Amino acid sequence: MSRTASAIPVASRISGFVYAIRNIVAEARKVEASGRKVRYLNIGDPISFGFRTPPHMVQAVERAMRDGFNGYAPSVGILAAREAVAAECAGRGMPMTPDRVVITSGTSEGIELALTALAGPGDDVLIPVPTYPLYTAVLAKIGARAVFYRTDPSRGWQPDIEHLRSLISPATRALVVIDPNNPTGATYSGEARSALVDLADRHNIPLLADEVYADLAFDGPVPAIAALNPDAPVITFSSLSKAYLAPGWRMGWLAVAAPPRLDDVLAGIKKLADGRLCSNAPMEHALVAALTGDRSHQQAFRGALRERAALTSTRFNAIDGITCVPPTAAFYAMPKVQLPAGTTDEDYVLGLLRATGVLCVYGSGFATAPEDGFFRVVFLASPAELDEIYGLIGDFTGEFLSARTR
Ligand SMILES: Cc1ncc(COP(=O)(O)O)c(C=O)c1O
């Protein structure tokens, strides 16, 4: 390369594409390089904590590959997979036909396809705060604006419906609902769910229902939000990543309710799906095996999560300066540390990482205010390891707070 050549710039949209859950790993690597063991509580991957993909799903992928299903699949996915998803939706109370299902590379691709089909520059999308950060990242990429509605920790992280209602405008193109929720571990009340779906219906705003944790509510599977109002314009998203313990397979789906209101949107999504040819073809066969086969692993998984959730909220609430809403689903908790003036959630989380090797994600990575002191913990490690980790967090918090309030 010529010595005078300058660095080649990236497109300006890259600066808005932020995904803290992975971005923060660069800091952890530095701590590891200094010789300290890092405990990665940043990413919601059950496999990296010893949970195992059900064997019948693995066998289905092996069989599909041996049987020669290694070519491109239809861009919307094989019929058997779409039939299985349609039956799954119907079982959750959301009437569905296979022609309104698209098989995707994880929930993530479904989210990106739907947002791209719905919104562009000048458009608004209503997003919960705290949020799963892919939503804001994709909106930055497509040039649409994230408009945040509050969810309230003092009411178990339920959505603030009045606040949400006040944000609806002619520019609103979609409403994102994540229930059960990452990062808060909340499940929404029946009242909140009805209010959300009715708002979408009345204002003719597509409700993007991220239901990837629907099977991981501790009290048992949550029905589809679309079941509460079959006329409402709802697109549901889910995958094999969480409740079927196969996140690396990148296998998910979306399903579009409310014909004919959402027919143009469905056609737009399918057009975009054509451009990426198809999702992972052999894994589509495993999707059929997963949705039509044995689910007993889910009950065991929910039990393990319930135990860890209780340990998590009990231990955090016993730490001076920290409060934590007890999670009711998934494997996340969002504790709050009472930060001294002038410090941020990032100061606290990076301080914790450097002092103890424990890696969490600061709340501002999920769009909470940096001074509010929220941080997210993934509680998939064993109860014994979590116990040790929460001890380290307690000790560090005591030192962090006293050093800065002295
Ligand atoms: C709320 C939420 N939506 C979507 C995803 C992406 O999941 P997938 O692996 O299905 O793309 C995640 C992953 O953590 C998530 O927590």
Q: Predicted confidence band at 4 (pLDDT cuts at 50, 70, 90)?
A: confident
Q: What is the pLDDT of residues 155-189, one digit of tens each?
A: 999 999 999 999 999 999 999 999 999 999 999 99
Return the residue whose CA atom lies nearest to atom 13 of ligand 1: 44
| Chain centroid offset of residue 10 CA | 27
The atom of ligand 1 lying closest to the CA of 247 is 9
pLDDT for residue 209:
98
Atom of ligand 1 nearest to the CA of 183: 16
The answer to whether the CB of 183 falls within 8 A of the CB of 130 is yes
Please indicate whether residue 366, judged by its CB atom, sits closer than 6 Å to ligand 1: no
Distance CA(131)–CA(51), nearest Å, equals 26
The DSSP-derived string for 331-368 is: TEE--EE-PPTT--HHHHHHHHHHHH-EE-EEGGGGT-
pLDDT in tens, 49-87: 999 999 999 999 999 999 999 999 999 999 999 999 999
pLDDT(203) > 70? yes
Mean pLDDT of 362-381: 96
- Interstrand relation of 207-210 and 234-239 (parallel, antiparallel or unpaired): parallel
* Helix-helix angle 263-275:106-118, to 10 degrees: 120
| CB-based contacts of 265, cutoff 8 Å, min separation 6 | 114, 117, 118, 206, 235, 256
Q: Is 272 exposed, middle or buried (0-12, 13-18, 19+ CB in 10 A)?
A: middle
> Does ligand 1 lie within 6 Å of residue 239's CB atom?
yes
Dihedrals φ, ψ of 161, to 5°?
Answer: -65, -40
Find out whether the beta carbon of 136 lies less than 6 Å from any atom of ligand 1: no
